[in-house]
């Protein structure tokens, strides 16, 4: 997975298919597709959106172009974050551990994900055992021991690919 968040396709204010610019307050569909380089974001106007994009996407959601005076959101709504978190935790790809860990920290801060305890594996990995507030399922998240700069870089990357800022 890409470590350089600048390589992630960011929102450019136009449909990825017809290339028509989005207007203020217009609804559109956004989706993330996983490639060898990492996640790429695509956006489609309602006329170009096709249900096949759902099947091709790692994650997708409906969004709205903010007004000029509206405060920009850091991330998309909580349900999309939760679904993105669940999908990421299904992967065994070690390169996603930092990404998953930072998303878990964000969900903990929002009081959506609860820390239960920590265990250490035989090979020395620190595993945080967590649970979503509305579920009984436990999630085992590897603590990759990121420094503050790495956490901030991943958090900004999440903001870029999910909110498009």
49 plus 85 within the same structural domain = no
The verdict on residue 34 lying in a domain is yes
122 plus 152 within the same structural domain = yes
The verdict on residue 73 lying in a domain is no
**What is the structure's pLDDT at 129?**
94
Residue 47 near residue 19, CB atoms below 8 Å: no
The verdict on residue 21 lying in a domain is yes
34 plus 89 within the same structural domain = no
Q: What is the DSSP letter of 14?
A: B
- pLDDT tens across the length of the chain (165 residues): 334 444 455 567 899 999 999 999 899 998 888 877 777 889 999 999 998 988 888 888 888 888 777 655 544 678 888 988 998 898 888 878 888 998 898 899 888 999 999 999 999 999 999 999 889 899 999 999 888 788 878 877 777 666 654
Q: Which range of residues forms the domain containing residue 40?
A: 5-64
The verdict on residue 41 lying in a domain is yes
Whole-model pTM: value is 0.61
**What is the structure's pLDDT at 127?**
93
The b-or-e profile of 69-107 (16+ CB within 10 A means b, else e) is eeeeeebbeeebbbebbeebbeeeeeebbbbbbbbbbbb
Total domain count, the chain? 2
**What is the structure's pLDDT at 116?**
93
32 plus 60 within the same structural domain = yes
Residue 68 has, within 13 A of its CA and on its CB side, a CA count of 1
Token pair, residue 140, equals: 């085992």
The residues facing 138 across adjacent strands are: 131
Angle, helix 78-89 to helix 97-109, in steps of 10 degrees: 150
The verdict on residue 91 lying in a domain is yes
Residue among 95, 90, 86 at smallest CA distance from 134? 86
**What is the structure's pLDDT at 72?**
55
Angstrom CA distances, 86 to 10, 11, 47, 120, 121, stand at: 23, 24, 29, 22, 22
């Amino acid at each position: 997975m890409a470590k350089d968040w600048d390589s992630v396709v960011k929102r450019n204010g136009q449909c990825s298919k017809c290339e028509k610019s989005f207007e203020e307050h217009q609804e559109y569909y956004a989706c993330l597709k996983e490639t060898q380089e990492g996640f790429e974001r695509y956006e489609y106007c309602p006329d170009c959106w096709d249900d096949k994009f759902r099947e091709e996407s790692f994650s997708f959601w409906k969004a709205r172009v903010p007004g000029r005076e509206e405060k920009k959101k850091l991330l998309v709504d909580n349900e999309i974050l939760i679904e993105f978190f669940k999908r990421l935790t299904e992967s065994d790809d070690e390169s996603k551990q930092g990404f998953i860990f930072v998303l878990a920290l964000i969900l903990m801060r929002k009081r959506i994900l609860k820390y239960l305890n920590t265990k250490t594996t035989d090979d020395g990995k620190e595993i945080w055992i967590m649970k979503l507030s509305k579920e009984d399922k436990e999630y085992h998240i590897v603590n990759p021991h990121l420094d503050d700069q790495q956490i901030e870089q991943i958090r900004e990357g999440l903001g870029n690919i999910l909110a498009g800022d």
